[in-house]
């Protein structure tokens, strides 16, 4: 009985990774919120402007979230953060082209968030390996190159990217919390909540 109550090394490792992942995601969310404020101000945008869904930007919105398996959560998260890594790199490049060194603050903030996104993606790969799943290959090319956008369209797209990233940070915290809960098996859906 005592042995059955003692969590396995794998379980402990998973909980540890999930806890660290939640802390990473929380920090990332806080920094993305600050970056959004800087971005809106520097780009001369209205913070309340609605941005339509943009191709290539992974949407955090999901139906039947509570019914997802742990593996599915990790795969969805990993795909999203790999995409964000490429999108943020692109935004950084565009920002340097447009403003050069004139706006170092925005550039630094973008770079800091990009670093956190990369770190989080790596963290998710570790978790997937713990789930006995080999992370899908990362071709490193990111999403296909978008059509040439006007400067204003680039700015709006950037706003959409940061907003979705902020949502993903919250979703990731929830996903990792679900993953950390005791479950019958590594690929089952732990604790479905009614209606979601």
Partner 1 sequence: MWWSLKELIAPEPVQKQPVVAWGRAGSGGEEGAKLTDLSSEGWPVASTQKDPTDFDEKLGTSPGVWTGGEMANPVPSACCVVLAAVVVVYAQRHSQQDSHIQYERVGADVTMKCGSMDWDAAVTWTANGTDIDDSHLNGSYLILKNVDLTQSGQYSCYEGSSWHLKYQTYLRVGTPPKEPVLMCRSNNYPKGFYCSWHLPSPTYIPNSFNISVIHGTREMVCEKDIFPKNRCHIRYLQLFSTVKYKVTLTVTNALGKNSTSLTFDEFAIVKPDPPESVVAKPVPNNPRRLEVAWQNPSSWPDPESFPLKFFLRYRPLILDQWQHVELSDGTSHTITDAYAGKEYIIQVAAKDNDIGTWSDWSVAVHATPWTEEPKHLTTEAQITETTSTSTSSFVPPPTTKICDKGAVVGSGAVAVCWTAGLVLAAYGVLFI
Residue 187, interface with partner 1 (CB under 8 A)?
no
Of 2-10, 129-137, 149-157, 188-196: span binding partner 1 (CB under 8 A): 188-196
Tell me which of 45, 62, 111, 115 binds partner 1, using CB under 8 A. 62
Tell me which of 59, 104, 149, 151 binds partner 1, using CB under 8 A. 59
- Best CA proximity match to 157, nearest among 118, 61, 71, 165: 165
For residues 123 and 171, which CB has a smaller minimum distance to partner 1 in the complex? Answer: 171
* Residue 100 Cβ vs partner 1, minimum distance, rounded to whole Å: 31
* Residue 134 Cβ vs partner 1, minimum distance, rounded to whole Å: 27
The position carrying tokens 């913070």 is 47
Q: Which of residues 71-90 bind partner 1 (CB under 8 A)?
A: none
| Burial zone of 162 (CB within 10 Å; 0-12 exposed, 13-18 middle, 19+ buried) | buried
d(CA 39, CA 4): 52
3-state secondary structure 100-153: CCCCHHHHHHHHHHHHHHHHHHHHHHHHHHHCCCCCCCCCCCCCCCCCCCCHHH
d(CA 70, CA 57): 23
How many residues of this chain interact with partner 1, rule: CB under 8 A?
Answer: 27
Report CA torsion sign: 13, 6, 181, 69: positive
* Residue 171 Cβ vs partner 1, minimum distance, rounded to whole Å: 4
Tell me which of 24, 60, 87, 109 binds partner 1, using CB under 8 A. 60
In the chain, the N- to C-terminal Cα span, in Å, equals 35
Residue 174, interface with partner 1 (CB under 8 A)?
yes
Residue 61, interface with partner 1 (CB under 8 A)?
yes
Which residues contact partner 1 by CB under 8 A?
A: 26, 29, 50, 59-63, 65-66, 160, 163-164, 167-168, 170-171, 173-174, 177-178, 181, 191, 193-196
């Amino acid at each position: 009985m005592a042995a059955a109550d003692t969590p396995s090394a794998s379980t402990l490792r998973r909980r540890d990774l999930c806890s660290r992942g939640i802390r990473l995601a929380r920090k990332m969310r806080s920094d993305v919120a600050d970056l959004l404020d800087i971005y809106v101000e520097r780009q001369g945008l209205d913070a309340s402007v609605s941005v339509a869904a943009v191709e290539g930007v992974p949407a955090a919105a999901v139906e039947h979230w509570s019914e997802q398996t742990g593996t599915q959560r990790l795969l969805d998260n990993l795909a999203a953060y790999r995409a964000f890594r490429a999108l943020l790199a692109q935004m950084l490049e565009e920002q340097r082209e447009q403003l050069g060194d004139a706006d170092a603050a925005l550039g630094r903030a973008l770079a800091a968030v990009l670093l956190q996104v990369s770190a989080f993606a790596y963290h998710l790969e570790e978790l997937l390996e713990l789930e006995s799943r080999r992370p899908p290959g990362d071709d490193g090319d990111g999403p296909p190159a978008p059509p040439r956008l006007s400067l204003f369209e680039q700015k709006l797209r950037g706003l959409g990217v940061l907003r979705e990233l902020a949502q993903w940070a919250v979703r990731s915290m929830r996903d990792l919390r679900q993953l950390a809960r005791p479950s019958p098996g590594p690929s089952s859906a732990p604790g479905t909540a009614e209606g979601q």
